[in-house]
C-alpha cells in the first residue's frame, strides 16, 4: 500500500463532508477522516457485498458476536478483561455520550468537560439540559496538562458526571496512568459517573500507551461507561457503529431502560466492517500509524521552520495537530488560512474555552498533500 500516492481528483470524488463541504480550490484538513485507501480486507468485503447483496436486516449482535470480538481485542491490546455481556452495540460514539448523560444524570446536573475538546462534548451537555462544568487543560511547556486543583474547585455537589476524552481530541494527549489515577480518585470521592470516550485508542504513537480508564480498578470501573469504535483508526466513520462497555449492571440497566428504538437500528455494513477491521486489518493499521508517526514529526519540523508565530507540540496520539497561533495576534486565524491560503482547518473556539487562537490540523493525508497545506498556510502568513 502506498500512503504517499494519493490522487487529489479521486479524493475530490468522495461524497463525505471532508471533501464536499468547501469549494474545489480549498484543501480540507479539518474533520477527522483519513485520506488513505481502505484496508484490503474491508475493500474485499465491500466488493463481495455487491455479489451477495447481503443488505437485509442484520441480526442484533449477540454477546458472542461483535461484543466478543471487542472483548478479545481489548484484552489483547490493553490487557483489559471484560465480559461481552456488559457491552452494547450502538450507532456511534456521540450517540453513546448523549444517551449516557440522558439516562444516568438529571436535568441541571453538572457535567465536567476538559476543554479544549471535541465540539460534540460541549453540544451534548447543553442539548440534554445538563450544566457544563469546565476544567480547562492548560498548555504546559511540553503538553497540555490536567489541572486537578481547578477541577476540585469548579465541581460542586450537583456535579454528577465527567465526560472524559482519552486520547484527547484536539490536544493529542494520551493520558498517563498516574494522571488517570488522580482523575479516577476524584471521580470516586465525588461519586461521579464517568463517560470515557476512547475512540482514538488505536492511534497512539511509540513511547506512549493507551490505558483504558476502567482498567484502573473495580471502584472506578463500576462507575465508568467506555465508548469505543473502529471508525477513527480504520477510517470507516461513514459505516456507523460503536460499542459501549458498562462497568456495572446498575449503569447498563438504566441505560437500557430507554426504549430500544429510540437508540435507532444498527447497520449491516457497520457491524461487518467493525468486525473485519478488528480481526483482519491490524497490519494495515500498523503501517498507517508508522506513517502518521513520520507525518507528525515532519509537520512539527515544518511548522517550526515555515510558520513563524505558530507553535505545535507533538501529539502523543491521534492524527490531529493543535496549532497555537496566539503569537500572531489574529482575531480569527482560521479565517486567514481559509481566505488567504484556501486551506480548511478546524477553528479553535469551537473546542470551547482554551481554543481561542488555535486551529486544529488533520494530518492524515499523504506527505505531499500535507506539505501543500503547510505551503498554503505559509503563503497566507506572508501575504497578511
Ligand atoms: C473524541 C471523539 N469522539 C467521537 C468522535 C465521533 O465518533 P462517532 O462518529 O462514532 O460518533 C470523534 C470523531 O472525530 C472524536 O474525535
If we measure between CA atoms, which residue out of 258, 268, 166, 155 comes closest to residue 209? 166
Which atom of ligand 1 lies at the shortest distance from residue 95's CA? Answer: 11
Residue 94 CA: which ligand 1 atom is closest?
11
- Check which CATH number belongs to the domain holding 330 and give it: 3.90.1150.10
Contact 160, 192 (CB under 8 A): yes
112, 156 in Cβ contact below 8 A? no
Q: Does 55 fall in a domain? A: no
First to last CA, the chain: 39
Supply the DSSP symbol for 204: B
* 293 & 348 share domain: yes
Q: Which of 250, 280, 310 is the last residue of a domain?
A: 280
Question: CA 116 to CA 169: how far, in whole Å?
Answer: 8
CA 119 / ligand 1 centre spacing (Å): 10
Contact 217, 306 (CB under 8 A): no
State whether 322 and 274 are in the same domain.
Answer: no
Range of the domain at 331: 8-40+282-383
CATH number of the domain to which 237 belongs: 3.40.640.10
Residue 199 Cα to ligand 1 middle (Å): 6
Instruction: Return the pLDDT at 60.
Output: 85
Q: Is the domain of 272 the same as that of 291? A: no
Neighbour count for residue 305 (Cβ, 10 Å): 10
Residues 214 and 303 in one domain: no
Cα 105 to the center of its chain, rounded Å: 23
- Nearest alpha-carbon partner for 16 in 3, 35, 37: 35
Residue 165 CA, closest ligand 1 atom number: 1
Ligand 1 centroid distance, CA of 64 (Å): 26
- Cα torsion 328, 331, 334, 338 to 10°: value is -100
Query: 119-127 and 93-104 are packed helices; what angle lies between their axes, rounded to 10 degrees?
Result: 30
3-class secondary-structure state, position 352: coil
**Which distant-in-sequence residues (6+ apart) come within 8 Å of 134 by Cβ?**
112, 113, 115, 154, 352, 353
Residue 13 CA, ligand 1 centroid: distance in Å: 23
- Domain match, 331 and 305 both: yes
213, 287: one domain: no
Mutate to test the pocket of ligand 1, among 171, 175, 199 (most ligand atoms within 8 A of CB): 199
pLDDT (0 to 100) of residue 67: 98
Å from CA of 364 to ligand 1 middle: 15
How many angstroms does the Cα of residue 93 sit away from the middle of ligand 1? 6
Is 123 among the domain residues?
yes
Asked whether residue 107 falls in the same domain as residue 203, the answer is yes
CA–CA separation, 348 and 27 (whole Å): 18
pTM confidence score: 0.98
* Nearest ligand 1 atom to alpha carbon 237: 9
Burial code (b: 16+ CB inside 10 Å, e: under 16) for 223-232 equals: bbbbbbbbbb
| pLDDT attached to residue 248 | 98
Does residue 355 form part of some domain? Answer: yes
Ligand 1 nearest-atom number relative to CA 168 = 1
| Binding-site residues, ligand 1, Cβ < 6 A | 32, 92-94, 118, 165, 169, 197, 199, 229, 231, 237, 242
Q: Is 205 in the same domain as 183?
A: yes
Task: Give yes or no for a contact between 146 and 182, defined as CB atoms under 8 angstroms apart.
Answer: yes
At residue 177, the pLDDT reads 98
- pLDDT tens across the length of the chain (384 residues): 789 999 999 999 999 999 999 999 999 999 999 999 999 999 999 999 999 999 999 998 888 899 999 999 999 999 999 999 999 999 999 999 999 999 999 999 999 999 999 999 999 999 999 999 999 999 999 999 999 999 999 999 999 999 999 999 999 999 999 999 999 999 999 999 999 999 999 999 999 999 999 999 999 999 999 999 999 999 999 999 999 999 999 999 999 999 999 999 999 999 999 999 999 999 999 999 999 999 999 999 999 999 999 999 999 999 999 999 999 999 999 999 999 999 999 999 999 999 999 999 999 999 999 999 999 999 999 999
> What's the rounded Cα separation, in Å, for the pair 53 and 271?
15
Q: Is the dihedral of CA 88, 90, 96, 101 positive or negative?
A: negative
For residues 287 and 258, membership in a common domain is answered with no
Q: Are residues 73 and 149 in the same domain?
A: yes
Residues 233 and 265 in one domain: yes
**Which run of H or E residues covers position 367?**
helix 367-383
Q: Among 238, 255, 280, which residue terminates a domain? A: 280
Looking at ligand 1, which atom is closest to the CA of residue 242?
Answer: 10
- Out of 93, 122, 166, give the residue to mutate to test ligand 1, the one with the largest number of ligand atoms within 8 Å of its CB: 93
User: What pLDDT score does 279 carry?
Assistant: 98
φ and ψ of 68, to 5 deg? -70, -40
C-alpha cell at 2: 502506498
From residue 261, alpha-carbon distances to 90, 97, 265, 266, 278 in Å are 11, 17, 7, 10, 27
Q: How far is the CA of 197 from the centre of ligand 1 (A)?
A: 8
Q: Count, in order, helices (H) and strands (E) of the chain.
A: 15, 13
Q: In degrees, to the nearest 5, what angle opens at C-alpha 58 toward C-alphas 55 and 63?
A: 150
Residue 42: per-residue pLDDT:
98
Q: How many domains does the chain have?
A: 2
Q: What is the model's pLDDT at position 81?
A: 98
Task: Give the per-residue pLDDT at 111.
Answer: 98
- Do the domain assignments include residue 161? yes
> Do the domain assignments include residue 174?
yes
Amino acid at each position: 500500500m502506498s500512503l504517499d500516492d494519493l490522487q487529489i481528483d479521486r479524493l475530490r470524488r468522495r461524497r463525505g463532508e471532508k471533501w464536499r463541504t468547501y469549494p474545489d480550490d480549498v484543501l480540507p484538513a479539518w474533520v477527522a477522516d483519513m485520506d488513505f485507501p481502505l484496508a484490503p480486507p474491508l475493500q474485499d468485503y465491500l466488493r463481495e457485498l455487491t455479489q451477495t447483496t447481503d443488505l437485509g436486516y442484520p441480526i442484533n449482535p449477540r454477546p458472542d458476536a461483535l461484543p466478543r470480538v471487542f472483548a478479545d481485542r481489548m484484552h489483547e491490546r490493553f490487557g483489559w478483561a471484560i465480559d461481552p455481556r456488559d457491552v452494547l452495540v450502538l450507532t456511534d460514539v456521540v450517540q453513546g455520550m448523549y444517551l449516557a448523560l440522558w439516562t444516568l444524570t438529571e436535568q441541571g446536573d453538572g457535567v465536567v468537560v476538559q476543554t479544549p475538546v471535541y465540539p460534540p462534548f460541549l453540544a451534548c451537555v447543553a442539548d440534554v439540559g445538563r450544566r457544563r462544568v469546565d476544567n480547562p487543560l492548560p498548555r504546559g511547556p511540553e503538553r497540555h496538562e490536567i489541572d486537578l486543583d481547578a477541577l476540585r474547585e469548579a465541581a460542586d455537589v450537583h456535579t454528577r458526571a465527567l465526560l472524559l476524552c482519552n486520547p484527547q481530541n484536539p490536544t493529542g494527549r494520551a493520558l498517563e496512568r498516574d494522571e488517570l489515577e488522580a482523575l479516577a480518585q476524584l471521580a470516586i470521592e465525588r461519586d461521579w459517573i464517568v463517560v470515557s470516550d476512547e475512540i482514538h485508542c488505536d492511534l497512539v504513537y511509540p513511547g506512549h500507551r493507551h490505558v483504558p480508564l476502567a482498567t484502573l480498578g473495580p471502584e472506578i470501573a463500576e462507575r465508568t461507561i467506555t465508548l469505543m469504535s473502529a471508525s477513527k483508526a480504520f477510517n470507516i466513520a461513514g459505516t456507523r457503529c460503536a460499542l459501549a462497555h458498562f462497568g456495572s449492571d446498575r449503569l447498563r440497566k438504566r441505560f437500557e431502560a430507554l426504549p430500544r428504538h429510540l437508540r435507532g437500528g444498527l447497520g449491516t455494513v457497520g457491524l461487518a466492517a467493525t468486525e473485519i477491521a478488528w480481526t483482519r486489518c491490524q497490519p494495515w493499521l500498523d503501517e498507517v500509524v508508522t506513517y502518521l508517526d513520520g507525518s507528525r514529526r515532519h509537520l512539527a519540523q515544518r511548522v517550526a521552520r515555515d510558520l513563524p508565530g505558530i507553535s505545535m507540540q507533538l501529539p502523543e496520539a491521534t492524527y490531529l495537530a493543535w496549532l497555537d497561533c496566539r503569537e500572531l495576534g489574529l482575531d480569527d486565524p482560521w479565517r486567514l488560512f481559509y481566505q488567504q491560503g484556501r486551506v480548511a482547518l478546524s477553528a479553535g473556539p469551537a473546542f470551547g474555552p482554551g481554543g481561542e487562537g488555535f486551529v486544529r490540523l488533520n494530518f492524515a493525508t499523504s506527505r505531499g498533500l500535507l506539505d501543500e497545506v503547510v505551503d498554503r498556510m505559509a503563503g497566507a502568513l506572508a501575504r497578511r
